Amino acid sequence: MMAPTMGIRGCVTALAAGLLLSACATTPEGTYYASPTDPTTVRMAHILHRAAIAGGDDPNRYGFAFIKSPTAAAYSDEDATFYFTDGLMRQPASIIEAVVAHEVAHEVMGHVGTRRKLSLSLTASFGALGIFAPGVGLLDFVVNPLVVRAFGRHQELQADQKAVEILRAMGHPAPRRVLATALEAVAAHTPREREGLEGLLATHPTLDDRLAALIPLEPPPKPVTPVARAQYGRLP
């Protein structure tokens, strides 16, 4: 019964009190609001809550909705309102957390500002380009200049750096590696760029730019050595 055209201002409280919606004309096509008791909703609410606290913000300000799309992507609107695709929710937890950390970073750094325009963000080298793929269904809202705003290259790189801090505060011991892995994974789950988009997307850094800015990554986790295994095997 919740129409796709409804906004989620007030969805802040949605995390705890159910989805309190108010009218808003800029909600993206395909948006839906899962039940507050839906496991996916609960999972995202938990991740977003942790990320907001890790970013030094009030988690009660944050709200979210989902978008029916196989593409792994996230979008920011003003008022700490995020949209996450079904495709993203099918990714491993660490990737979802990295994506959320990046979006929270935009919010705590004030990138969205007060403009009521849906912002297109995240996703590697513009992994969100996947939304331009035929059949994905987000084309209308993405190409509508009244609705979409891409963050600038500098803001994306800033948000990545802030996301590293947020991921660390969320308990990830190797946050740079987690974010780099997420950027690559999201890019791999979205179609390649198509030509003719430069005008809209020229402000966005490439995946290579973003990965380079995360260097040096933390060393990979050490494999369990045979000695350690043998010792472990002798434990009662």
Here the contacts of 160-163 (C-beta below 8 Å, separation 24 or greater) are 160/102, 160/105, 160/210, 160/213, 160/214, 161/105, 161/213, 162/55, 162/105, 162/108, 162/109, 163/98, 163/101, 163/102, 163/104, 163/105
Q: Which stretch binds Zn ion (CB under 5 A): 50-58, 124-132, 147-155, 177-185?
A: 147-155
**Of 53 and 109, which CB lies nearer to Zn ion in the complex structure?**
109
Asked if 119 touches Zn ion (CB under 5 A), the answer is: no
Q: Which stretch binds Zn ion (CB under 5 A): 58-66, 115-123, 163-171, 184-192?
A: 115-123
Rg (CA), the chain: 18
The number of C-alpha atoms within 13 Å of 35 and in the hemisphere containing its C-beta is 3
Which string of x and - marks every residue 157-176 that binds Zn ion (by CB under 5 A)? --x-----------------
Nearest to 179 by CA among 123, 108, 109: 123
**Of 14 and 100, which CB lies nearer to Zn ion in the complex structure?**
100
Q: Please give the Cα distance from 142 to 8 (Å, whole number).
A: 19
Given candidates 91, 121, 125, 190, which one binds Zn ion under the rule CB under 5 A? 121
Asked if 47 touches Zn ion (CB under 5 A), the answer is: no
**Of 94 and 155, which CB lies nearer to Zn ion in the complex structure?**
155
Asked if 118 touches Zn ion (CB under 5 A), the answer is: no
Cis check for the bond before 216: say yes or no (omega within 30 of 0): yes
Q: Which stretch binds Zn ion (CB under 5 A): 43-51, 81-89, 153-161, 222-230?
A: 153-161
For residue 16, the minimal CB distance to Zn ion (Å) is: 26
End-to-end CA distance of the chain: 57
**Of 77 and 156, which CB lies nearer to Zn ion in the complex structure?**
156
Give exposure, 121-138, as e/b (b: 16+ Cβ within 10 Å).
bbbbbbbbbbbbbeebbb
Asked if 122 touches Zn ion (CB under 5 A), the answer is: yes
Taking CB atoms, the residue at the shortest distance from Zn ion is: 121
**Of 19 and 81, which CB lies nearer to Zn ion in the complex structure?**
81
**Of 44 and 124, which CB lies nearer to Zn ion in the complex structure?**
124
Question: What are the beta bridge partners of residue 234?
Answer: none
Interacting residues toward Zn ion by CB under 5 A? 121-122, 151, 156, 159
